[in-house]
Chains A and B, each alone.
Chain A
Amino acid sequence: MRSLTGKVLLLGLLLGPVPLVGSAQTPDAGGSLDPWQASGYVKILQSAIFLEPVSPRLPFETQLYDNLLHQRLNLDWYASEHLSLQLGWRNRLFWGDQVRLFGASFIELQEEGDELLDLSWGHASPSGVAVHSAIDRLYATWTRGLWEVRLGRQRINWGISTIWNPNDLFNTFSFVDFDYEERPGSDALRIQRYLGFAARLELAVRPAGRLDEAVIAGLYAFNRAEYDVQILAGRMRTDWVLGAGWAGALGEAGFKGEWTAFYDPEADRIDLAATVALDYMWPGAFYLNAGFLYTSTGTTDGALDLFGYRPSAKTLYPFTYSLLLTSSYAFTPLLNGSLTLIYSPGPSHTTFLNPTLTLSIADNWDLALVGQLEALRRDGTGTLPVKAAFLRLKFSY
């Protein structure tokens, strides 16, 4: 979601060598390319979170102040024309109230998913300081002509729509974790065969210790009448899945959508996650995206903890129906503002609000001010059970 709210352009490493499709030679801009590439950032994030007394763990109104020093290194090695290796490594030092509150279990909260290989390490001290180090990318890519095979911890992103991605079977992430743009990786094998400028066949396997934790799926993508279309099928944990997505335009507006159906044979239950959205950019750099999400596993009632749950492709959001509006505006080339609003109709009228301001303070220095608010109606009155504010300074290299 954050990638949309004003920050389309993210720092990153490049994948794969430049050889062209088929037999064509490399029209490179000239000069020899360094086989090693390093990039990354250092961020300092300060947060203030105000919680209503909703959870048994926090029986009183709580204020939590925390700090995070976060360093990331991306390292690419282009070993040959056909083979490259990539590493993504994040190191974080936390200190503050949350570390004290959660104690030793704070480290468990930082662990992402249950991958085959354990590539993370952490320690929390009772004094309120914790360290966590994780490798979230570690993969080899072999490319030859129209073939690409990638093995290791990687992000397999099958999302085609801008905000919600029911087709993104391989990754889960928390949408409130705006500070983790890269998102976790999966230990997987991914084989792609390109068939045209926007067409490909893909098979991806995320093995696991148990079959009901594994994901295996195939995807076919093509472009027709200026629409990107994809169809996918496979098995995600306990479910058989079938899905499709598209990205095209209605007039000048972008028109995108995705749906995935999940069949759990044990429970003999079919679930559906589906989304559709329009986006448009007005003169003066005002961008608006309006979308709708249907989640059959969601609820229409209840006041849920939007900050605590971990979404999956099946349950991207805890409510059955959700409407999303996100807008961004460049006040100046240096100052960008965005606001995201997710409203779920129902007795609680739960609404998630996410205003963001980003300021480029120098060529590689950025400052961000982010708010996250959950608003809902409980016992006839409106309330804000969670209010959070974040201030982040980032240096990219």
Chain B
Amino acid sequence: MKNVRFWVVLWMAAWGLTSPAGAQELSATEIVRRADEKMRGSESSIGEVKMTIVRPTWTRDMQLKTWVKGTEYALILVTAPARERGTAFLKRGNEIWNWQPSIDRVVKLPPSMMSQSWMGSDFTNDDLVKESSMVEDFEHRLLGREEVGGRLCYQIELTPRPDAAVVWGKILTWIDRQDFVQMKAEFYDEDGWLVNTMVTTRAGEMGGKVIPIVMEVIPADKPGHKTVMEQLSIEFDKPIPDDFFSIQNMKRLRL
């Protein structure tokens, strides 16, 4: 089943932001914490996302509308491609439902589906779902300052704490000094080999905040492969009541 891709996207979509902080001298941990808060999102967001898988011989696009509240609630509506248009997903806590309008059917998905990575993209489960562990599961060391994508960034090395369940040997991250946008991250395995690079190719203001608008994930060992996520629109902190995230509304979402 391909549904997993939407969870990836959901978490991406949830990477909205909190308020930018002042740029005094901060500890490496504090910088990561602020970037992490930005990635994990604000109280709520409503947006549209386009995702493109790029391979040497083909590309495929998908577009989604997303309604997200915290980490507990999400509704996702597929608006493209035509084959999957109208399919919707509801997440409440640990539960996920899938709506297939053509056959008037709600399917409850097994929990194992949510915790998998989407194999088609270059995002991994650990990149996405466990984003919050960037703060708690790692030791942080400020390596220096470097410009990435026209923005001056803090370069920080993250090494996993001995007791943390982390698949990476280390992560290098570049966090914008002014807006705490993660402009780049390199994920290394335990043998020190680069696995994935995540790059923010366009950051800018959307929905009143500076956010990564276009991000790419590039696997190190697969030339010509990447996954591009583009935020088409987003609104932050528009109040969404908890009961918006219902099966009834999953069925009623419109293109």
Q: Which residues of A contact B (CB under 8 A)?
A: 3, 6, 8-22, 24, 27-30, 33-34, 37, 39, 41, 74, 78, 143, 146, 148, 154-157, 159-160, 162, 181-183, 194, 196-198, 200, 223, 226, 228, 247-249, 251-254, 256, 279-285, 287, 328, 330, 332-334, 336, 360, 363-364, 366, 394, 396-397
Nearest-Cβ distance from residue A342 to partner chain B, whole angstroms: 20
Query: How many residue pairs between the two chains, A and B, have CB atoms under 8 Å in the bound complex?
Result: 216
Q: Which residues of B contact A (CB under 8 A)?
A: 1-4, 44, 46-48, 53, 55, 58, 60-61, 65-67, 77-78, 81-87, 92-95, 97-98, 100-113, 115-121, 233, 235, 238-241, 243-249, 251-255
- Name the contact of B246 in the complex, choosing from A143, A194, A280 (C-beta under 8 A): A194
Chain B hits for A198, CB < 8 A: 97, 246-247
Q: Are A181 and B254 in contact (CB under 8 A)?
A: no
Residue of B nearest to A141 (CB): B252
Residue of B nearest to A6 (CB): B1
- Name the contact of A16 in the complex, choosing from B102, B111, B246, B252 (C-beta under 8 A): B252
Chain B hits for A223, CB < 8 A: 95
Chain A hits for B110, CB < 8 A: 249, 252-254, 279-281
Main secondary structure of the interface of B (DSSP, over half): mixed
Main secondary structure of the interface of A (DSSP, over half): loop
Chain A hits for B67, CB < 8 A: 27, 29
Q: Are A197 and B83 in contact (CB under 8 A)?
A: no
CA distance A160 to B105 in the complex (A): 8
6 A-B pairs besides A197-B246, A226-B94 with CB distance below 8 A are: A24-B244, A29-B66, A29-B67, A33-B254, A396-B83, A397-B82
Nearest-Cβ distance from residue B56 to partner chain A, whole angstroms: 12
Chain A hits for B121, CB < 8 A: 333
- Name the contact of B103 in the complex, choosing from A12, A16, A19, A196 (C-beta under 8 A): A12
Q: Are A10 and B65 in contact (CB under 8 A)?
A: no
Provide a sorted-by-A list of 15 A–B residue pairs whose CB atoms are within 8 angstroms: A10-B84, A11-B82, A15-B251, A18-B252, A27-B44, A27-B239, A78-B254, A157-B105, A194-B246, A197-B92, A198-B246, A285-B116, A328-B1, A333-B121, A366-B83
Chain B hits for A22, CB < 8 A: 243
